[in-house]
Amino acid sequence: MGVKSSVAGMVRQLFGGWRKRKGPEQLGIRLEFNRKTLYETTSFSSSDAITIGRSSDCVWVIPKEDHVASGHHAVILMRQGRLCLRDTGSRNGIFYKSRKIQEKDLAPNDQFTIGSCVLIVERIKNIRTSPHELVYLNTSLKGQSVKLEKACMTVGSAPGCDLVIDEQLVSQRHAEFSSKADGCWLKDLGSKNGTFVNGTKLSSNTERLLADDDVISISFVDFRFVDGKIEHSKVRIWSSLGVVGVTILAVLALNWFWMNMKSSSETCLGYARKEAAAQRFARAMEYLKESRTRRGAESSQIA
């Protein structure tokens, strides 16, 4: 019995706890139409289900312009600890790598065709360098920024919200920003007048992953989202100006070096005279023309 326990202990040490099951891989899922993002989301619970289709009662509503998609086309759900995409009786089906499928577990780099839309699956990367920000694009606060320093920040007209917008069209708890490992997610909390990203209304209680420079509209207040994971516009501008400045200095230095290395206009005129004296007039004419582009051409004259 003691020998068996010892062997089992060695096995556990070697394989790092073989009784532990690895959790599901965290994925980011995005639905695009005409290369524009309609919806994005991240981790699911076992009770979550995202229905996709043209019908208004779907969680992710496909635009009416997509005549290939069905009213209830597909659903994303959790099955045995893994995310799965399933056809829900669509007219034209779901395609994966040009093949029609009924159901498939989701994996990083998967792409599915749903009507004229594309469903993209990506692995979430754990990158974060500084707090995300919201920059006011209008109102009296235009140009001012709000740092999203808390993991979860609510926006609304209620005094207890992290970001208070005291307007009649803003619900008491209007929207929520969640900073996660993969970036910042925005969720509409069932507001009366909606939350918009780049002009697209978010479905109630559905998250969307924000991208740098996204424009968020809550009532008539517009914000620009600044992603803390990447270089911001001011940094990029100064970096670009620095590159331009160095390039200009390099060009000026090369020009100065070249002009000083070139023969002067007077030297070319001297060569022209020698060629003319030797009755090599064609060659003399070449030197004469060249002298007009050389250093000191303005003050040089033919004697």
Better pLDDT: 25 or 101: 101
**What is the pLDDT, as a whole number, of residue 80?**
82
**What is the pLDDT, as a whole number, of residue 240?**
58
Q: CA–CA distance from 109 to each of 27, 28, 101, 119, 285 (Å)?
A: 10, 10, 17, 10, 68
Cα torsion 119, 120, 123, 128: sign: negative
Q: What is the pLDDT of residues 164-190, one digit of tens each?
A: 999 999 999 999 999 887 789 999 999
**What is the pLDDT, as a whole number, of residue 260?**
58
Q: Which of 44-58, 167-181, 244-258 has the lowest mean pLDDT?
A: 244-258
- Whether the pLDDT of residue 97 is over 60: the answer is yes
The per-residue pLDDT of the chain, averaged, comes to 81
Q: Which of 170, 145, 172 is nearest to 159 (CA)?
A: 172
Q: Which of 50, 42, 43, 56 is nearest to 74 (CA)?
A: 50
Query: What average pLDDT does the segment 96-115 reach?
Result: 95
Is the pTM of the predicted complex or chain greater than 0.75?
A: no
Phi then psi for 105, rounded to 5 degrees?
A: -70, 140
| pLDDT grade for 46, boundaries at 50, 70 and 90 | low
| pLDDT grade for 221, boundaries at 50, 70 and 90 | very high
Distance CA 243, CA 238 (A): 9
Better pLDDT: 104 or 300: 104
Terminal CA-CA length for the chain: 116
